[in-house]
Structure 1
Amino acid sequence: MAGATAAPADAELTVVVLAPTDPMTRGQLRRMADLARDEGYRVRWEEARGGPTAPFATIGGLSGLLRRADRVVMGDPFSRYVQLLLTITRARDLVVVDDGTATMEFVAQLARGERLVRWHRKGGRPGPRDLLFAPVSSSARRRLTPSARRRVEVFSSMPVHETPDGVTVTANDFSWTRARFGPPRITKGADMVGTSLVETGVVDGDSYLEAVRTLAKAHGTTRYFAHRRESTEKLHRLAKETGLEIVRPDLPLELIARRGPIGRTILSFPSTVVHTLPLALAGTGVRVAVCDIDPTWLTENASPRAQGFLSGVTGTARDVHRLTSVSLA
């Protein structure tokens, strides 16, 4: 979340990182914070989840900045932390910057006036924490609704089909990424991009492992770029049973791919990268291929909307090659 305190020409941007506890995500954010500093921005690293008193210290430390800001930019409107901080700001300009699949759901929920719930949790009953936080979430949703006093913009590479009245949608075409990095060296083989669908309880672990093994064998894949939220145990098993080299990127994959080397073909399951990588790698000749999630891979606890949402992620992707879902033995 960041605040600008003056007109755009004289804007002084402060980037605030609400540090997570996950080591891989922290590592990527550290590298991204360095890039932001290299671009001339001030960065505040907040240990927002560093203990029972950390939220109070973070909120107290940011209150003044948020109240003074004319513009607030946020990266995850589903975050309870972000929603809580939104109740403090008086900014007339709110911008959601997110290239994740959740952006599609956020805009649709905002257009329909629904409560903000991540897609893989939708369909279940609200838990005690959800009910306790409901007033804050409702307040955040109201603040993210445009009015005569507040402008709301969504900046994303994801397709947006249900645009709420008054919300401005600006496409991220990854021009900065292409200008800043690359072009990459292209290898002859294929790389695969991992997903955290097992960790979020959407896809069965054994089915996922078999799908990865089958795809890797069919396409001559040698490297597997792990999602930052994939568990160490799952990755060890993947390496042992498929022979793939597991790569844990220290930067977002779009930047890693632009820096290279990268395979001539990139295989993926439905995820953000089927939308972002074709933009980041435009003009390089790299082909992005996506494999749909077979309904039989879903767990019993998967959201009723899971299959439709994942199919929508794939179906709305442009400049990708669609693979038929693999048949598992």
Structure 2
Amino acid sequence: MSEHGPDGATRDAEQATPDLRAPGRRPGGTLAFVESPVQLLNVLEWAHADAQRAGMGTRGDLTVVVLSPRDPMSRGQLRRVAELARDEGHAVRWEEARGGAGAPLKTVGALAPDLRRAARIVIGDPFSRYVQLLLTITRARDLVVVDDGTATMEFIAQLAGGERLVRWHRRGGRPGPRDLVFAPFARAAVRRLTPGPSSSVEVFSSMPVDEIPEGVRLTPNTFAWTRARFGPPRLTRGADLVGTSLVETGVVDPDRYLTAVTELARAHNATRYFAHRRESAEKLHELASATGLEIVRPDLPLELIARRGPIGRTILSFPSTVVHTLPLALAGTEVEVAVCDIDPAWLTDHASPRAEGFLSGVTGSARGVRRLSSTGKG
């Protein structure tokens, strides 16, 4: 399995970086909370779009707070995107939010003063218990939700329906003990994310949205910053395949997934497999052995990897965020994005009752892509 980025440079997920901790900007500024590389990328896209609307070159009051996850690949990508954020003039504050039993309390205590002073809060994951807790502290009247992938579609639908916030692949099960403990914070988060006479809510998204909650302002994410900052990419002759964590989340059967990847790679002469940051090493080793694909662990979100290049003329994916974002990031290039349907027979017995419909909706609503059947053929 290759631990190299597509440009051939060795990537160390835990490489040393400059000190990313920084105090909040002036009182009344903007605080953004992110827990994944994709969320941080979309905060940069939002900041670029917001500055363009205001006629500014860049925002001068944005502090990004990274609530660092545990897994090394996410941490490594976050550090790389954090460097890009600093290059854009934004302050970045790195919090080891999950670094032990006392870390959450310490993190919340350290952030509370800035939370109370901030005029605007930007969040990447409204389903996060951490974020829901932080929303009970802030007095900010303006809230912005940036994309966290396809979960944004579910968030908007649940907010419009006045439902409790539950990730799509967990729906249908009974609330656990932790869900019950955090239920008051979840309810409070829904109230804070509902616009009122003295508060505004903006959703900055590249995802298709059927129903906008009353009072919520939807701003399209066109990946203008990514296109301006990188590329256009050099294109290779072969196809590249994008991995998914549907096996890791218990939605798709591992053996079915292995078979699907093998058939898809063979049908389209794919040579590389860009692993999702949550895919297990064991699964990836098995994929490499069975398919002969070069497994690539990207050091940046795929939208940036693809825009920088080199990238295949065809990008193959299962239903996921990238079938919506890659056509935008690669606009103006000759790259074709193709999405392969998930056969209902691939789903596990533990998959949420909503899984089939949700995944079909992700595929069917994608714009500017070629749709493939579950056999991998168009």
The TM-score bracket by the shorter chain reads: over 0.9
Return the offset for 1:269: 0.2
Return the offset for 1:13: 1.1
Q: Could you tell me how far apart the structure 2 residues matched to 1:73 and 1:282 are? A: 27
**Do the aligned residues in 1 keep the contact of 2:60 with 2:89 (CA within 8 Å)?**
no
Which of 110, 129, 149 in structure 2 is aligned with 1:100? 149
Q: Could you tell me how far apart the structure 2 residues matched to 1:196 and 1:92 are? A: 36
Residue 113 of structure 2 aligns with an amino acid whose one-letter code is G
Q: Could you tell me how far apart the structure 2 residues matched to 1:61 and 1:162 are? A: 37
> TM-score with structure 1 length normalisation?
0.97
Q: Deviations over 1:202-251 (max 9, x none)?
A: 00000000000000000000000000000111001000111000000010
Residue 322 of structure 1 aligns to a residue whose secondary structure is strand
Which of 28, 40, 45 in structure 2 is aligned with 1:5? 28
Cα distance change of structure 1 residues 186 and 220 upon mapping to structure 2, 3 Å threshold: same
Aligned to 1:209: 258
Return the offset for 1:132: 1.0
The answer on 1:87 being equivalent to 2:110 is no
Aligned to 2:77: 28
Aligned to 1:184: 233
Alignment of 1:1-329 (within 5 A): 5-6=28-29, 11-326=60-375
Q: Deviations over 1:45-73 (max 9, x none)?
A: 00000001101110011000010000000
Which stretch shifts more, 6-15 or 159-168? 6-15
| CA root-mean-square deviation | 1.5
Residue 5 of structure 1 aligns with an amino acid whose one-letter code is G
Q: Deviations over 1:275-304 (max 9, x none)?
A: 000000011110000000000000000000
Return the offset for 1:94: 0.2
Residue 28 of structure 2 aligns with an amino acid whose one-letter code is T
Q: Could you tell me how far apart the structure 2 residues matched to 1:121 and 1:6 are? A: 35
Unpaired runs of at least 5, structure 1: none
Q: What is the aligned-residue identity percentage?
A: 76
Q: Could you tell me how far apart the structure 1 residues matched to 2:60 and 2:172 are? A: 42
Which stretches of structure 1, 4 residues or longer, exceed 3 Å deviation after superposition? 6-11
Residue 125 of structure 1 aligns with an amino acid whose one-letter code is R
Q: Could you tell me how far apart the structure 2 residues matched to 1:42 and 1:301 are? A: 42
Higher relative contact order (CA 8 A, sep 6+): 2
Q: Could you tell me how far apart the structure 1 residues matched to 2:80 and 2:124 are? A: 16
Q: Could you tell me how far apart the structure 1 residues matched to 2:332 and 2:64 are? A: 31
**Do the aligned residues in 2 keep the contact of 1:99 with 1:158 (CA within 8 Å)?**
no
| Total equivalences in the alignment | 327
Residue 203 of structure 2 aligns to a residue whose secondary structure is strand
Q: Could you tell me how far apart the structure 1 residues matched to 2:332 and 2:87 are? A: 26
